[in-house]
Amino acid sequence: MSGGSEVDKLIDLMAKLPGLGPVSARRAVLTLIRKKTRLMRPLAKAMAEVEATVRECAICGNITVHTYCDICRNPKRNQSLVCVVESVADLWAMERSGAFKGRYFVLGGVLSALDGVTPESLRVPLLVSQVVEGDVSEVILALNATIDGQTTAHYIAEQLAGDQVRLTSLAQGVPIGGELNYLDDGTITTALNARKAF
């Protein structure tokens, strides 16, 4: 149908990206071909460059082009404050808020019996050894408020139970701008039970 198997192959690969299906992948590839020098060439180059240089930070699992990521190497960040997140996307979300000045630990997923995700595949042992051996004063469990996320938080809490480290988790309640009318029962129940003096 298209201009040769090369184009079809590119469409198939583009369609594997999240947010793109076969139709939008076709549209994206036609745009790329129309903007060959301005978009396709730099994009192919940037992709090859990232593929060759980006790796996991040896401490926290964030993506970086060095051995250690910008956050772990930053002397202005409190390295004794560790925020445990599920993914790099969650780390970026925390960073966008600008509210956290410690460092991170990226689990790389959450425990899931259905998907066969075990504690070992989640780098939990590495987190435990960092807490035991390092100078960590507080571990903040910033895992998603899903069943799997909370199961993982409880598992990590168990693993760190013997240590003197302070364990905290993000507060749960009504999100900023949230309207009670549109919130689920669980959130309202949690917010009511955790109510505080006004």
Q: Which residues bind a second copy (CB under 8 A)?
A: 1-4, 6-7, 9-10, 13-14, 16-20, 24, 26-33, 36, 39-51, 53-54, 62-66, 69-70, 87-89, 92, 95-96
Q: Where are the alpha helices (DSSP H) in the chain?
A: 5-14, 22-34, 41-53, 70-73, 88-97, 124-133, 147-159, 185-193
Nearer to a second copy, 68 or 155 (CB): 68
Q: What are phi and psi of 49, to 5 degrees?
A: -65, -50
Distance of closest approach, residue 148 Cβ to a second copy, in angstroms: 18
Distance of closest approach, residue 161 Cβ to a second copy, in angstroms: 31
Helical (H) or strand (E) element with 166: strand 166-169
Nearer to a second copy, 43 or 145 (CB): 43
How far is residue 10 CA from its own chain's centroid?
27
The residue among 19, 17, 77, 62 whose CA lies nearest residue 43 is: 17
Nearer to a second copy, 57 or 160 (CB): 57
Distance of closest approach, residue 152 Cβ to a second copy, in angstroms: 18
Distance of closest approach, residue 35 Cβ to a second copy, in angstroms: 8
155, two tokens: 């598992």
